[in-house]
Amino acid sequence: MSGEQEAGSFDFDLAVIGSGPGGFEAAVRAARSGMRVCMVEKGAIGGVCVNWGCIPTKALLRSAEIFRIAEESASFGLRIDSSSRDIAQAVKRSRRVVLTASKGVEYSLKQNNVTVKRGKASFADKHTIKIEQDRETVETVTARSIIIATGGSARQLPGLEFDGDIIISSREALALQSAPEKMLVIGGGAIGVEMAWYYNAAGSAVTLVEMMPQILPQEDVEVGEGLKRSLVKAGVEIINEAVVKKVEKSGEGIRAVVGMPDGGEREIDANCMLVAVGVVADTEELVLENAGVETERGFVKTDEQCRTNIGNIFAIGDVSGGMLLAHKASAEAAIAVKAVLGEKTGALEESLIPRCVYVEPSFAGIGYTEKQAMEEGRETRIGWASFAASGKANAYGFREGFVKLVFDAATGALLGGHVLGYGAVELIGELTLARSLGVTAEQLSSTVHAHPTLSESIKEAAENALE
């Protein structure tokens, strides 16, 4: 189909490939703007986030939290004579949560008159998409503009390819019907940490191997160290500066040879191994070359407006790289739709995107770490507050963690905020808003916070920076 067509001759004004957070947001926004919108989805509506990522993970982590609270219930005045963990029931509940979320996405698409087409999408040219089912083309649609929102999938390591049974990705980890006696987790990023925490709470003996000096290697050093202490205290073994050199499968599971930080080697036996070492873009099936779309390091290359090198084609979310977060994809969707409509918007600044890890104590951060600020030559003032000194944290029974705030010494503006502690992911909103508005330490410290709350620690950290 020629790209010289008149706009009115296209089947749709916009076609969106993928129904995850970014694709869904783009489709609904475009439809509400009056565009004729088509969405193509090969899997379950809602994409990876709803079906095999954010939502089921958080549902299982809630089960893990309940397991831990039940173990400590006597200190709160509730004596449980006997209890057992039912992992199959936890998974069943998580799938119910997923189904509800997926149906909600489907309902919203229908209410906004988005045409949903099921099947695998690939480009025929820059305006034409082929839709396949069972390896046969069932339909071809044309669109004036196209947004690629196909997301990503777990990266595989050579020699550690997923078999879905013994060597698994997070997708399989979300569906195991029982906790393995021993689990080896490769990767100390958000996914590896969350799954290690969940399976430890579920009763598995978990060993986590991370090649960098700290878990969550992109975050503040104190955050990595503090979270490691909490995980080790809970029973997770963590080995930093280590690499898996060799893995042998057996009927019982795997035996891994791990290169240790002291230069020696250690053999680790486990029933299964979860590999969580990053994400690759899901572009293989799109046949991008037919549209002339360029990639860089496997991700679709885009500009500040989420536009590819082909003017009518955009890419958002994990498929275009950067921070691999659902809310980042949604934010990019707004930018892309405005660009499709011919409106100019500012680029999405990654330092304004919050980052969260949903274990307990949980972590949430925004903006610069202290190290990053120093590397940019900024003079900083640091504010600290410990949850051990928080009345609400003590009442909850969760005293671990802290608030660390990084301010510009010259202007007083907040550069970064880092919270490690119970409910941290629910506290980050205030710091995200403060970072976005350039709020200063003085303004934060003078803002009245309710007492007793966990959020008081943000005020106290700001006050500490002014001392």
Catalytic machinery residues? 451
How do 115-118 and 167-168 pair as beta strands? Answer: unpaired
Using CA atoms, how far residue 174 sits from 98, 322, 366, in Å, is 12, 25, 27
CB neighbourhood size of 65 (10 A): 18
**Among 324, 317, 299, 15, residue whose Cα is nearest residue 140:** 15
> What's at 320, amino acid-wise?
S
User: In 224-344, where do the E strands start and end?
Assistant: 237-240, 243-250, 253-259, 265-270, 272-275, 279-281, 295-296, 299-300, 313-315
Alpha-carbon 435 to chain mean position: 20
Tokens 């903006």: give the residue.
Answer: 367
Pairing of strands 237-240, 205-210: parallel
DSSP state of 360: S
DSSP track, 146-158? EEE---EEEPPPT
**Burial readout 375-390 (b: 16 or more C-beta within 10 A, e: otherwise):** eeebebbbbebbbeeb
End-to-end CA distance of the chain: give it in Å, rounded. Answer: 67
Three-state secondary-structure class, residue 198? helix
Q: Quick one: which of 401, 390, 368 has its CA closest to 223?
A: 401
For residue 28 the two structure tokens come to 């609904």
**Cα 167 from Cα 180, distance rounded (Å):** 12
